[in-house]
Every structure is written in structure tokens, then in C-alpha cells.
Chain A
Amino acid sequence: MTTAAETFMAPPARPGPRRWLKKNLFSSWFNTLLTVVAVAFIGIVALSLGRWALVTADWSPVVENLRLYAVGPYPAEQMWRVWAIVIMVSFLMGVSGGRWGGAVRTFALALAIAYGVLATVPISLEYLPLASRLRLASNILAVGLGILVGRRLAIKGYQMALAWMVSFLLTLLLLGGLRNAAVAPYLPFVESGRWGGLLLTFLLAIVGIVASFPIGVLLALGRQNSLPVVKALCVVFIEAVRGVPLVTLLFMTSILLPLFLPPEVRIDRVLRAMLGMTLFAAAYMAENVRGGLQAVPSGQVEAAKAMGLNGWQTMLLIVLPQALRVVIPAIVGQFIALFMDTTLAVVVGLLELLAIGRAIINSNPQWLLLDKEVFSFIALIFWIFTFSMAYASRRVEAAVGLGKR
């Protein structure tokens, strides 16, 4: 039996579709006009885009070169190494998802679904052979297995971080191989000039962010420091790097660096570009970390001192853990930006995704006029990765309550 008061208290029913339309699209004559214009605009754009993508466009430079987009000129007979790395990352992603649950698990599951979509993508077997499809599908198993492992075993947070670090080093080792004669038959050396495509894009961004992390933390601490000389050096570095475009830094490490080193020291091209990316990322990382350091209340430092901790202990045990926890969202954002900035490596002649696209267009006279298709495909790849990473990080942030300070 409901009383009148209770019916009054009941939450308002969800507006019906008519009310919703009225409120959001046709509330006034101006709004109606806007709606009509917007519908016309969307209709025209969707129609012409759809017609172009499905009818006019010639996607042959895209589908015939999927391997080039993925790994560039990496030797075909060594592709098992790349697959091993992908499986390893999928597994770790699964373990992380199982360990932390929530948005991380959603991300891992989305990854598994993406593998499923890729494995069954409707193009000729000639361009994406059955073996590759099976390998892609096996990654779904890796993710699933990882989730099981992550849920069953009580893995600590630092162990997980350690596992990711080890996988990073293993990735570099697997990709490059060794010159050592004992290992060479099994893991022949692949010079970095043959790394390319999406693989190199990811590698540049990950190396940049990982290597810049310790440097950035040191620079931020130096900038917060009371010692005038140290502080001045850090400020000059940070501001100088942030004040110039990334292209000039890449050029400097790629072209000028050999002049700055003794003639017998030779650093290869990919490594020089990575150095430029790292210097650039370190300056921005330092500013992010500084923000985190400033967010730690001074009472924490005073309490630590009152407990009798010395300066190092206060920094390492009290301040940094809190500061770094706050800046995780900013670091993810920086990683996404760096991931997009890797395209600038095209300017110094590395074969990352965008450069591969150009090389493919120029490799076949019939494809010379198909740059719209190739660049749209590359834009789509970038968009899928950056948008999903940004989305996932927002979800994680909201779930953990980070960045709320």
C-alpha cells in the first residue's frame, strides 16, 4: 500500500524518448535549428566518409603490408621473437588484471577481445595467414591464463612491478639478440636499423618514459632542493628542454651528438633518437613529479622528522611514495603524449609507423596516390591506442581515487 507521500518521494521516472528529444534537441526554435543543421552535417559527412571508405578507397597498400606496419623491416625468419614478446605482454596484462581487478581487468579483457577481432578480421588469408591468426588467438589464452594466475596467487604490488621491469629488459634482449658467438645461432643479432613500425613506435615511447623516470625524479628533487648550485643546474636543464621543440632535440642528439663525442664512440641511430626522447621526457617528468612533491603536506615531513627519520629516509619512505602515487595519472598522460610524439622520429630517418607508411606509398607507383588511405589507417591505429589508454587511465583514476587530492 503506498501512501500519497511515498509516491511523491519516488524518484522521477526516466524521461521517455519524446521528452528526452524535446528537452535535448528541440527546446527552442534556435535549438531546433541547430539540431537540423547538425543532422544535415552529420548526414553529409557520414555518407561521404562511408562511401569513400567502402567504395572509392583502395585499401591494397594497407592490407598487403600488415607486417610492415607492425614491425617494419624486422627479419621475417626472426618473427617468433616478436610473437614471444606479444604473448609475454598479454600474459602480464592478464596477471595485472587478475591482481588488481576493476578497470585494469576490463582493460585486459578488452585486449583479449581486440585479439579476437584481429584474428578474425575479414581479409584474405594471403595477407593475414592462418598461422598469424592462430598466434593472435593464442594471446586470448595468454590473457585468460594471466587473469587466473593473478587471482589465484597472492602477488604483491612490487612483485608485479618487478615482473614488468624484467619483461621490459627481456623485450630489448629478445629484439636485439646478442653478438656473442655462443648465443648467436639461437638469437642472432638484429641491428636496431631493422626495428620498425608499430613495434618501434611503442619501443621509443616506453624506453623514453622508463628511462626518463629516474632522471625526472632526480631533477624534481634537485629543483626542490635548497642548495643553490644544484637547484640552478636542474632549473636550467628543465626550462631549456621544455623551451625548445622536440624536433630540435631529436636533431641535436641525432646529428650533433656524434660531434660532441670522441670519434671512436659510435651510438646507433635508434639509440640516439631514444636519447633525445628521454631528455625531452625527463624535463616534463620532472615537472610532473614536482607537482606531486608539492602535493605532499608538510606535516608529513615534520612527522617523519619527529619520528627520528633522517633526510634520506624521509624522502624515500614518506615523501616520494605519496608524491609518486599522486602523479601516476599525469605520467600516464605523458606516456600517451610521448607515444604520439614518437612520430617525430620520422624527421631523423627512423622507420617508425608513420615513416613506414610513407615508405610503403613510395614503394609502388600504383600506390603513389593512395596516401589518404595509408595515413587514415595510421591515424586510426594511433587513435585506437591513445584513446583506449586515456579511457583506461581515467577509469583506473576514478576507481582508485587518484588525482583527487
Chain B
Amino acid sequence: MATSSSSLPRFLTRKGVPLWRDVVVLQWVAQIISAILVVGFLWFFISNVLAAAEARGLGLGFDFLRNSAGFPIAESPVPYDPSRTFGYALWVGFLNTLKVSVVGIVLATFLGLAAALARLSSNWLVSSLAGVYINIIRNIPLLVQLFIWYFAVFQRLPPVQNALTLPGPIFISQRGLYMVGPQPTGTFGLWLLFVAAGLLLGYLLHRYLLAYQMRTGRSRYPLLIGLLAAAGVALLGWFVVGAAPLRLTTPELGRFNFEGGVRLTPEFAALLVGLVVYTGAFIAEVMRAGILAVQKGQVEAAKSLGLSAFQTLRLVVLPLALRVIIPPLISQYLNLTKNSSLAIVIGYADLFFVGRTIINQAGQAVPVFLLIMAIYLGLSLLTSAVLNLYNRRVQLVER
């Protein structure tokens, strides 16, 4: 191309190609048209919302979040009462979502691992049993399972007076599950600092000792020493902070209900069991595929190097299998978190449930929905960011 025309756009200089056939022009036109279409749609929607808001007197701002909520929330990991703000209520809902998701993820992982190992078992009966579990659970909608767990199981438990008593004591009744458990006292926060410091120290020690072992070939038991250091600091903290940071509470049957103890509500329990059983079946398939993906030669090579069965599993099979397992596993974790929004059908006060209540109370449908969707979206974007990071690391190891 001539130097004199380089400052001009390409389509002005190329006399031979008409405008409507020039690829660059066409591409720009396509982009501008699609952008105009989308902006036009948004404009149309937004102007309608503004009109509707004016006509019905709905607010669109986020100021209402500072108003008093005025509705109770059945269970909350942090102190809550109806005089707190809408924003705080939403925070409680978010914490409840996190609570059921985190506990569910941990339990579902164990269940999935157990089911995957059972499915791979050389025992035909155990393997088929796991296959039946996986194939039944995966083919029934989660919502139907939640209905069965909540309405047909947890609501049919005996009333408080005839509660099932398990050793512990653990009481199971319509009001939920009561058991002995730790309760934080005033010094708990301070003690947590010690625990964190202990974990950090243990981790650093472990890293240092592992590097030493790699350099010299002599083992200084990095894992054991690291764990001991962490436990030691935590134990030291327990006595340093003064009064014990945790104390045991035991449930006792009061006049109408149990008092004291740690309580799992039937809503939480039903949602948790439903999510764990459902996601566990999917995780089992993920893990089975990952373990099967490890080539036989790797195991044979490890054995011929003289590694024990446990070492083979820990140092060869698991790292190789994990590379296949982790990405779909994380997306199952994300599914579990998103599926926890089904709590609304059984009345567990998760983010979505609290959001619905706020919409009913304050009528602020648009901003509340934006907030809820943004939070879920944030969670999943965070997850996919972590996943991408992991994939990049794994790929580096691979090549």
C-alpha cells in the first residue's frame, strides 16, 4: 500500500472493491448494528421500567436497604432481629446460602468419593449398588427429591415430646436435630487469631521442611511437624486468652421445645441432605472418570519403582486423576451452590428466599433482583477464575 494513503482508512484507498463488499466495512457495519440493537433493547426496557416505577410509585434506588426490615428470619448464623436493616437481612441470607453450600460441598465430596470407590470396587454387588444409587438419583429432578426429603421425611418425624434419642445425646424431632456442641464465648474471636497464626506457622514449617527433604533426601516429617506446630499454637492460645473460648452446650427438653445445644432446623437438614445426595451422585461419576483416566502403565511404573500401595495412590494416581477431576468437580460445587436457591420451596432462609421476602415487604423488585443476580454471578465468576488459574497451572505441569 502506498505510503501517502496509509493515514486514510483502507476502504477509501482501495478503488477496486465497492463499499458493500469490503470486509472491513461490512464487519464494522455488523458491529455497529448489533450494538445499536442491544442498546435500543436496553433503552426500551429501561424506559418502560422507569415509566412503570413512576406509575406504581416503585423506588428504583438502593436507599431502602438502610430501612428496617421488620420481618423475622427463622435461622441465622449471626444475631438478627426484625429491627435490623434490609441490607443486613440480605447479608444473613447470603451467609445462610454460604453455610448450606460449604457444608454441602464437603459432605457431597465425601459421599461422591465413597460412591466412586464403591462403583470401581471389584465386588460386583457393591459396584452395582453404587450404580443403582447413581442412576436413580441422577435421573430424578432435585426439586422432587427435596419435596420427598422435606415433606415426606423431615416433617414426618415424631413431635418434640417423643423425640428419637440417640447416644450423645442427639434428639431428632419435627423441630430439627438437637445435639451437644461447642458454643463460642466472648474470647472466641481472640482465639481465632491464634488458630490462624498457628496454621500459618505450620504451613511455613511444612514448606521449609519439604524443601529441606527435597534438597537432601532426608525426611524431617514435614506434614507431621507442620500439623503439630499448628495444633501447639492453637492449644497455647486456648490457655493464653483467659476464659475458655468454646464451651459445651447440651440440649435439654424444656416445656415446649429443647433448650440449649446445637440445632439443625428441618429446613436446613432437608436442603442439605437433598443437595448432598443429589450432587454426590454427580461427583461420583466425575471421580470415577478421573480415576479411570489414569493409565495403567503409571500404576505399574510406580509399583516397579517400589512405591507402596498407599504411596502409589497418593503420589501417582491421585495427582494424575485430580487433573481430570478438578474442573468438573468445581463446576459441580458451583451447581450445588446455585441449586441451594431451591431452598425457597421448603422455606430455608437463603439469599433468594430473603430476597423474595424483601420484595414482598418493600416492593423493590428491580434492585433486589439485580443484587441477588449480581451476587450469584459474582460467586460463579469467582469460581471460573479459580478454575482458569488451576487449569493454567496444571497445563504448565503437563507440558
Interface residues of A (CB under 8 A from B): 24-25, 27, 31, 34-35, 38-39, 41-42, 226-230, 233, 239-240, 242-248, 251-252, 255-256, 259-263, 340-341, 343-344, 346-347, 354, 357-358, 369, 371-372, 375-376, 378-379, 382-383, 386-387, 390
> Could you give, for residues 130-163 of chain B, a 1 whenever the CB lies within 8 Å of some chain A CB and a 0 otherwise?
0000011001111111011001100010000000
Q: Which residue from chain A places its CB closest to the CB of B34 in the assembled complex?
A: A230
Interface centre among A38, A239, A369 (most CB of B within 10 A): A38
**Which residue of the partner chain, among B45, B125, B339, contacts A39 with CB atoms under 8 Å?**
B125
Q: Which residue from chain B places its CB closest to the CB of A342 in the assembled complex?
A: B141
A248 and B122 contact, CB distance less than 8 A: no
Could you tell me the distance between the alpha carbons of A243 and B338 in the complex, rounded to whole angstroms?
Answer: 8
Q: Which residue from chain B places its CB closest to the CB of A380 in the assembled complex?
A: B140
Minimum CB–CB distance from A15 to chain B (whole Å) comes to: 12
A256 and B369 contact, CB distance less than 8 A: yes
Minimum CB–CB distance from B119 to chain A (whole Å) comes to: 13
Minimum CB–CB distance from A357 to chain B (whole Å) comes to: 8
Minimum CB–CB distance from B118 to chain A (whole Å) comes to: 9
A375 and B148 contact, CB distance less than 8 A: yes
Minimum CB–CB distance from B181 to chain A (whole Å) comes to: 30
- Give residues 173-192 of B contacting A (CB, 8 Å): none
B48 and A243 contact, CB distance less than 8 A: no
**Which residue of the partner chain, among B30, B35, B49, B125, contacts A25 with CB atoms under 8 Å?**
B125
What residues of B have a CB within 8 angstroms of the CB of A379 in the complex? 140, 144-145, 148
Q: Which residue from chain A places its CB closest to the CB of B55 in the assembled complex?
A: A263
30 of the cross-chain contacts (CB-CB < 8 Å) are A25-B123, A27-B122, A31-B122, A38-B126, A227-B27, A230-B34, A242-B380, A244-B377, A244-B380, A245-B339, A247-B341, A247-B342, A248-B376, A252-B369, A255-B365, A259-B52, A259-B366, A260-B49, A263-B52, A340-B142, A343-B141, A343-B142, A344-B143, A346-B143, A347-B345, A371-B147, A376-B148, A379-B140, A379-B144, A386-B140
**Which residue of the partner chain, among B123, B143, B366, contacts A35 with CB atoms under 8 Å?**
B123
B122 and A24 contact, CB distance less than 8 A: yes
Given A248-B352, A248-B372, A390-B139: A372 in contact with B125 (beta carbons within 8 A): no
Q: Is B388 an interface residue (CB 8 A)?
A: no
What residues of B have a CB within 8 angstroms of the CB of A371 in the complex? 147-148, 151-152
Could you tell me the distance between the alpha carbons of A377 and B221 in the complex, rounded to whole angstroms?
Answer: 56
Q: Which residue from chain B places its CB closest to the CB of A24 in the assembled complex?
A: B124
Number of A-B contacts (CB under 8 A): 151
Could you tell me the distance between the alpha carbons of A390 and B136 in the complex, rounded to whole angstroms?
Answer: 12
Q: Which residue from chain B places its CB closest to the CB of A252 in the assembled complex?
A: B369
- Give residues 327-361 of B contacting A (CB, 8 Å): 338-339, 341-342, 344-345, 352, 356, 359
Minimum CB–CB distance from A76 to chain B (whole Å) comes to: 27
Q: Which residue from chain B places its CB closest to the CB of A247 in the assembled complex?
A: B341
What residues of B have a CB within 8 angstroms of the CB of A376 in the complex? 148, 152
**Which residue of the partner chain, among B122, B143, B372, contacts A354 with CB atoms under 8 Å?**
B143
Could you tell me the distance between the alpha carbons of A341 and B271 in the complex, rounded to whole angstroms?
Answer: 17
Q: Is B200 an interface residue (CB 8 A)?
A: no
Minimum CB–CB distance from B266 to chain A (whole Å) comes to: 14
Could you tell me the distance between the alpha carbons of A260 and B53 in the complex, rounded to whole angstroms?
Answer: 10
- Give residues 197-236 of B contacting A (CB, 8 Å): none
Q: Which residue from chain B places its CB closest to the CB of A31 in the assembled complex?
A: B123
Q: Is B164 an interface residue (CB 8 A)?
A: no
Q: Is B103 an interface residue (CB 8 A)?
A: no
List the 10 closest A-B pairs by CB distance, nearest first.
A243-B380, A24-B124, A340-B141, A372-B152, A229-B31, A245-B338, A386-B139, A245-B341, A343-B143, A243-B377
Q: Is B381 an interface residue (CB 8 A)?
A: yes
Minimum CB–CB distance from A343 to chain B (whole Å) comes to: 4
Q: Is B17 an interface residue (CB 8 A)?
A: no
Could you tell me the distance between the alpha carbons of A240 and B378 in the complex, rounded to whole angstroms?
Answer: 10
Known pairs A242-B380, A344-B143, A371-B151 / 14 extra A-B pairs, C-beta < 8 Å: A24-B122, A34-B123, A245-B339, A245-B342, A245-B376, A247-B352, A248-B369, A248-B372, A255-B365, A260-B45, A261-B48, A340-B139, A343-B141, A343-B144
Could you tell me the distance between the alpha carbons of A282 and B51 in the complex, rounded to whole angstroms?
Answer: 30
B126 and A34 contact, CB distance less than 8 A: yes
A346 and B376 contact, CB distance less than 8 A: no
Could you tell me the distance between the alpha carbons of A230 and B141 in the complex, rounded to whole angstroms?
Answer: 36
What residues of B have a CB within 8 angstroms of the CB of A383 in the complex? 136, 139-140
Minimum CB–CB distance from B367 to chain A (whole Å) comes to: 11
Given A39-B125, A248-B341, A347-B345: A354 in contact with B352 (beta carbons within 8 A): no
Could you tell me the distance between the alpha carbons of A386 and B38 in the complex, rounded to whole angstroms?
Answer: 37
Given A244-B377, A387-B139: A375 in contact with B151 (beta carbons within 8 A): yes
B38 and A233 contact, CB distance less than 8 A: yes
What residues of B have a CB within 8 angstroms of the CB of A38 in the complex? 123, 125-126, 129
Q: Is B121 an interface residue (CB 8 A)?
A: yes
Q: Which residue from chain B places its CB closest to the CB of A246 in the assembled complex?
A: B338
What residues of B have a CB within 8 angstroms of the CB of A260 in the complex? 45, 48-49
Q: Is B301 an interface residue (CB 8 A)?
A: no
What residues of A have a CB within 8 angstroms of the CB of B394 in the complex? none
**Which residue of the partner chain, among B31, B123, B135, contacts A228 with CB atoms under 8 Å?**
B31
What residues of A have a CB within 8 angstroms of the CB of B139 in the complex? 340, 382-383, 386-387, 390
A41 and B376 contact, CB distance less than 8 A: no
Q: Is B373 an interface residue (CB 8 A)?
A: yes
A375 and B345 contact, CB distance less than 8 A: no
Minimum CB–CB distance from B277 to chain A (whole Å) comes to: 13
Could you tell me the distance between the alpha carbons of A54 and B55 in the complex, rounded to whole angstroms?
Answer: 59
Given A382-B140, A390-B139: A375 in contact with B147 (beta carbons within 8 A): yes
**Which residue of the partner chain, among A239, A240, A245, A255, contacts B352 with CB atoms under 8 Å?**
A245
A341 and B372 contact, CB distance less than 8 A: no
Minimum CB–CB distance from A18 to chain B (whole Å) comes to: 14
Given A229-B35, A245-B376: A375 in contact with B143 (beta carbons within 8 A): no
